Homo-oligomer: A and B are copies of this chain.
């Protein structure tokens, strides 16, 4: 295991003009001001760029530059006075996205560990692609396949047969490939249904800390390309997630849940399993789907239904006690 600085040149400061060029924007102000970091509006130092979205209040801002919408696309929301005093405004179509990309640029200069730590356990039958980081305390079981450039944080467990596509990140203490919760009551005890399937994770998937994804009973539990899972997420056996699904913290998917492409499940949302959450669905935090949710729906409540109706019902209920 060794530290590697994939792009030390990325540590060099950029001028506002260079940043604008990189991000496809225009400079208003001092095009030569130098930027070497990305920061929040309130805490930015004078070498940092920050970003502003309409209707965000700003008292003061010490940044070198601020990424903003082009002045004719702010929907009438005037730039706060404080931002007119920042040396440079860099107009871009998506300030939040531009800030993320700029931060990614600078982050490539930060050295990071590459390789398999001597205190990781990697079964001899596991395959680990080039450029991976597997930290101390992680456990990679027999037959696992890990694509190129994955980052496995400390104390992660990939049980036997787990597959990760290239470019995945697994947060500390997460477990992939644990046995699904399958038992049949025999009249005398809970007989275990052996869990023979695996967990298959696509490319570019990022999983937070202390999440758990169970292996399939007979087939695979599948996490599609580009999904992002936050901390303490639980995915039951035989679930199948499409691409770019977002599962916020503490979400719980019961077994055999299907989730369509691009669905976003708010914090602690849940499903009872054996159902489908459609593509592009948005589930409110702590809502519980008990039946299929159609593509594109925005739902809340338990059982989950149209979020607007849920909101109206809550309001109506609470008026019941108005004296």
Query: Is A94 close to B, CB under 8 A?
Result: yes
> Beyond A97-B191, A173-B175, is A212–B208 a contact (Cβ under 8 Å)?
yes
How many identical subunits does the complex contain? 3
Chain A binding surface SS class: loop
Cβ contacts A213-243/B at 8 Å (1 or 0 each): 0100111000000101011101010000000
Q: How far is the CB of A149 from chain B (nearest CB, A)?
A: 14
Contacts A121-B137, A218-B39 given: A267-B249 contact, CB under 8 Å?
Answer: no
Task: Knowing A40-B218, A139-B155 are in contact, say whether A250-B249 is a contact too (CB < 8 A).
Answer: no
Residue interface bits A10-53, CB-to-B below 8 A is 1, else 0: 00000000000000000000000000001110010000000000
**Closest CB-CB distance, A18 to chain B, in whole Å?**
19
Contact yes or no, B218 A173, CB < 8 A: no
Proximity bits, A86-128, B CB within 8 Å = 1, else 0: 0000000010110111011011000000000101010000000
Q: Give the contacting residue for A254; candidates B107, B267, B316; CB below 8 A.
A: B267
Tell me if B244 and A189 are in contact (CB < 8 A). Answer: yes
> A268 an interface residue at 8 Å Cβ cutoff?
yes
Task: Determine the distance from Cα of A33 to Cα of B11 in the docked complex, in whole angstroms.
Answer: 67
Type the 1/0 row for A288-305, where 1 means its CB is closer than 8 Å to any CB of B.
100000000000001101
Decide yes or no whether A321 CB sits under 8 A from chain B.
yes
